[in-house]
Structure 1
């Protein structure tokens, strides 16, 4: 609706597109994080454009994990909307990364479930562990600044490049796995091309940031077995094998 001096929304109109209830918006007013701009003569709450922006900030901060009682304090510091949008985007990107990994896991399990072997409890326990550990693992190895850096790297590379790498990486892992299991000398020229490409993809991920690179290596050193089993990633032995091949090429 429009009133003199600008556009206004009734509480129900504000609640519908957000998925919140009118009662929730009343509660937001009660705790002081969102107040109506004015009321009609009949006492109905009206929210202006500043109220809409404020509501988005509240919703985004809730999505980022802040408790409601802390949001008022944060917003009193005049949170920049553009910065908050960036943080919200980074949070969503992290969720997408976790979901892509989980999707690969579920695709493999669905195929196994249809096979003669079928699923066993260990498969399901592994799935549940991955769901629980994905976010925890990210936080355990990367600082907030590094996570933000990785999100910027992802935006710089673009979704087309990311999708291409995600399709190439499993094939490259299998190629290196085959050479490792065959006992091929890391110095063999046949290993140079996949080892060089492996290195390129890893460098594409960390973009030359030594802190991110070290965190990546530390994660694979600590959890290489779990990553290989749960996410079809490389084992620690494969990573070491590639490094020996790179060293041999440089010598």
Structure 2
């Protein structure tokens, strides 16, 4: 008989919450294979495979109703779901590069005293409004100082590194890999390192960054390709690293 897992065991291994797993059951997406003598829900390999598909499709922005329709119709395979996620991440990188270009043009025009047209100003406002909502004036000054200290070349190196780390963490999540595994721990160290390039290790800025992702999930997903499920999984993996 294959190994079966309780809800709490699955939550602990995957980074998903018990509440989310119960919600999937209530939505008709995931049902236990059996119950223990004590009445606990038990899930086997078939249910874990189904959960893997649920998580992958949810990461792509599918609604629960759409996910149910896809799974029941046996539509997209996991490979196809991952391919679509990779494409979405590439699109997010393009959007980030566009926003970076807008800000660089504004900065250059300000530095040279050139007239800035309304469209350029609106684009710059779009890129900075969210930051001003969630970071204090002092934190924004610290972030700017951090950027000045890093320099343009290092900032671009960090930006180029993010898509690979995000894609790796997304693949690990989709495949249901244990956040405590060596592979995910390596990704978590890189993720934490890239975040600290931005925050300088400042706990207050890191808390504000977390608040930003929780308060603006849709906007941040569009800009970075990181959805709430992926953020929760990455945070869980980083927490398992401990201090360092």
- TM-score of the superposed pair, with normalisation by structure 1: 0.46
| Structure index of larger Rg | 1
Structure with the greater relative contact order (CA < 8 A, sep ≥ 6): 1 or 2?
A: 2
- TM-score of the superposed pair, with normalisation by structure 2: 0.47
